[in-house]
Amino acid sequence: MKYLDEYRDPDAAKLLLDEIRRVTSRPWTLMEVCGGQTHSLLRHGIASELEGTVELIHGPGCPVCVTDEPDVDFACQLAQRQDVVLASFGDMLRVPGRSGSLLDVQTTGAHIRTVYSPLDAVKLARQNPEKQIVFFAVGFETTAPATALAIQQADQDRLENFSMLVSHVRVQPAMEMLLQAPENRVQAFLAAGHVCTVMGYESYDSLVTQYRLPVVVTGFEPLDLLEGILACVRQLEAGAARLENQYARLVKPAGNRAARDLVQHVYQVCDRSWRGFGVIPNGGLELRPEWRRFDARRRFTPIQSSIEDIGECQSYEIMTGHIRPPQCPHFGKHCTPESPLGAPMVSSEGACAAYYHFAKANN
């Protein structure tokens, strides 16, 4: 496939693996900050090939995995209202809250529509004026431009029956929280190329300066990842700490200015609770005051649940690299993609799902 196959060349991959091993004088610990990168590292056997040379730990790079349980609970409550249709991406349907998932309530008659774009939800509102359409807006900064565009379109159409349950999260504040943790082991980051495509990477300069560690913006194909790992290792071996861009074919320093402007026009930064992490300062996006008439949290009142998280899923330990998914006592036994205990096993970008599908194949 044009512009893809060349980044999967096995001969080139072998040369990069050999070079990483050659320049590495001691084991280093790197964290990738993207679930898509996690899946690629395991699918192509890169993590196992580098075992003993570079330890790759998997960060909270899956927005589905970090969407907090109360947000899922509220979405379930909305879907069960007679006057509401909840629109959601399909990967959120099986993510458990404290009292079940959207799929659970759908089987009992809740009104849920799977959509492929936020604009599909706007269209649904136009077609069903007698119903309140609520779009469950999850994702990192990557998906925020599309949801911001949906808000603008709903405003242009003067829709009174459209709103969004905004659960957008921001990557860099989570990286900073991980580095501040007493048990932090991260020595370098592979930054998420898709987020930087939208938002750019200039803001990482302050992180590199403050914490004195390499950050390399990296793509998703095997050669992208190997080049990113090699760039990190070379810096670590030299005692350097720089911001580098391996994904220059798509990522520019300032990102996509039109998309950034759109996000900043509709959203403002806020504190946000992440599943397993608690509240991360500046860790999310919320609608600006002038757009809050489209805020489902203001339009509808959540019913407070007395159910507490039973804590069987060790999502925090997995998404901070303290344990690998197979080290969880429930992995592959009580927790499988068919019967998940937590979001990391559900999501197509979750670390547990990656290990379940790919790790055995490469061992």
Give the CA-trace dihedral at 87, 88, 93, 99, to 10 degrees: -70
Q: Given this model, what pLDDT does residue 59 score?
A: 87
DSSP states of 16-51: HHHHHHHH-SS-EEEEE--HHHHHHHHHTTHHHHTT
Q: Given this model, what pLDDT does residue 196 score?
A: 96
Mean pLDDT per segment of 10 residues, for the chain of length 363 residues? 70 96 96 91 93 92 89 97 96 90 94 97 98 97 97 98 97 95 94 95 96 97 97 98 96 96 98 93 98 97 67 80 87 85 80 82 46
Place of tokens 């020595």: 187
Of 210, 180, 207, 211, nearest to 191 (Cα)?
Answer: 207
Q: Judging by DSSP bridges, how do beta strands 267-274 and 162-168 pair with one another?
A: unpaired
Of 201, 186, 189, nearest to 245 (Cα)?
Answer: 201
AA letter at 248: A
Q: How far is CA 159 from CA 31, 130, 162, in A?
A: 43, 11, 6
Q: Given this model, what pLDDT does residue 1 score?
A: 42
Of 312, 316, 298, 354, nearest to 96 (Cα)?
Answer: 312
Q: Dihedral sign, CA of 206, 210, 214, 220? A: negative
3 state SS of 136: strand
Q: Given this model, what pLDDT does residue 4 score?
A: 64
Separation between Cα atoms, residue 68 and residue 98, nearest integer Å: 10
Length, in residues, of the chain = 363
Strand partners, 272: 280
Separation between Cα atoms, residue 328 and residue 317, nearest integer Å: 9
Name residues whose C-beta falls within 8 Å of residue 363's C-beta, 6 or more positions apart in sequence.
48
Any idea where the domains of the chain sit in the sequence? 1-306, 315-362
| Helix or strand (DSSP H, E) at 222 | helix 222-238
Residue 133 φ/ψ, nearest 5 degrees:
-100, 125
Strand partners, 295: 164
pTM of the model: 0.90
Give the tokens for residue 61.
């790079």
DSSP states of 177-215: HHHHSTT----EEEEEHHHHHHH-STTHHHHHHHHT--E
Q: What is the DSSP letter of 361?
A: G
Chain centroid to Cα 58, Å, comes to 11
Of 89, 92, 87, nearest to 122 (Cα)?
Answer: 87
Of 202, 170, 187, nearest to 280 (Cα)?
Answer: 170
The CATH code that applies to domain 1-306 is 3.40.50.11740
Q: Dihedral sign, CA of 82, 84, 89, 93? A: negative
